Structure 1
């Protein structure tokens, strides 16, 4: 065994494989450029300043086969975005309560889709748990606030009214 090779490289030579594929992984420096063979000119053992690559979120695969057209592959996120878009349109057309409830229900549907389907395409942003909590909490908050909106609220929570009068008291 030569002084420059590692035991893994020696094992690669003995098995007939290319010993270069057994090189220990080293983090590349953020400012090093690859040479003609694609290897970095400078390597360092410290972590790079910026992340160059990230793992796809769990469930971030296509929701339909790869040969399907792009909209069919991303139907979960398009469903949620269509509901939110329709809710925004209704809100702009002065149907405030119905529009905002539709926005909240669309986010709640996104949470259910994220929970029920193994692959949801671009609807997967973070981990499955984080996505479900985020979509669910935001959707529920929007629905509750839409139901409590004035005038003529459909949902009244007494302690919120008391809290408001206590904090604004002059």
Structure 2
């Protein structure tokens, strides 16, 4: 099968270039746009916006990924505190780490592997999860720091 039939392009060494049948044809009647999509499975994905290195390529790997390493290390410290019995401070630290990840995603142009989806989606996800974890840690029993009356009434209504 040749490239006109939608099969592999003989000029491509991998043999996986597929002509996109929906693009406008050129003067010879062949589609203009060429895509690297394979019909059965994905071989590659696009890098998310801001997913470039956070430091130059000459820097060692940890320095290039400092934003995600910062968030992961603070979450790890929060998990350690939680495991050692300091539940409220540990979970509060986890929530703060996710909020810091949202702030880093917003402020720093290239955050490396901290960029998972679009900038808006990452900020919204890190922010909602971070704020939820921080608020829940402040409301944890015994002796909650933060009391929200309607949540207490909702809990009593659903449990009883």
In structure 1, the residue matched to 2:90 is 99
Deviations 1:95-132 (A, max 9, x none): 00000000000000000000001000010011100000
Closer, same or farther in 2 for the Cα pair 1:146/1:51, shift >3 Å? same
| Aligned partner of residue 110 in structure 1, secondary structure | helix
Take 2:71 and 2:105, find their aligned partners in 1: how far apart are those partners? 11
In structure 1, the residue matched to 2:31 is none
Take 1:97 and 1:167, find their aligned partners in 2: how far apart are those partners? 25
Take 2:110 and 2:17, find their aligned partners in 1: how far apart are those partners? 39
Residue 145 (structure 1) shift: 0.4
Closer, same or farther in 2 for the Cα pair 1:163/1:37, shift >3 Å? closer
Q: Which runs of 5+ in 2 are unaligned?
A: 22-36
Q: Which runs of 5+ in 1 are unaligned?
A: 1-22
Closer, same or farther in 2 for the Cα pair 1:146/1:72, shift >3 Å? same
The alignment's TM-score, normalised by the length of structure 1, stands at 0.75
CA RMSD of aligned residues (A): 2.6
Residue 27 (structure 1) shift: 6.9
In structure 2, the residue matched to 1:137 is 128
| Aligned partner of residue 165 in structure 1, secondary structure | helix
Take 2:89 and 2:100, find their aligned partners in 1: how far apart are those partners? 16
In structure 2, the residue matched to 1:38 is 13
In structure 2, the residue matched to 1:111 is 102
Deviations 1:120-159 (A, max 9, x none): 0010011100000000000000000000000000000100
In structure 2, the residue matched to 1:10 is none
Residue 166 (structure 1) shift: 1.2
Q: Does 2:40 align with 1:65?
A: no
In structure 1, the residue matched to 2:156 is 165
In structure 2, the residue matched to 1:51 is 42
Residue 83 (structure 1) shift: 0.4
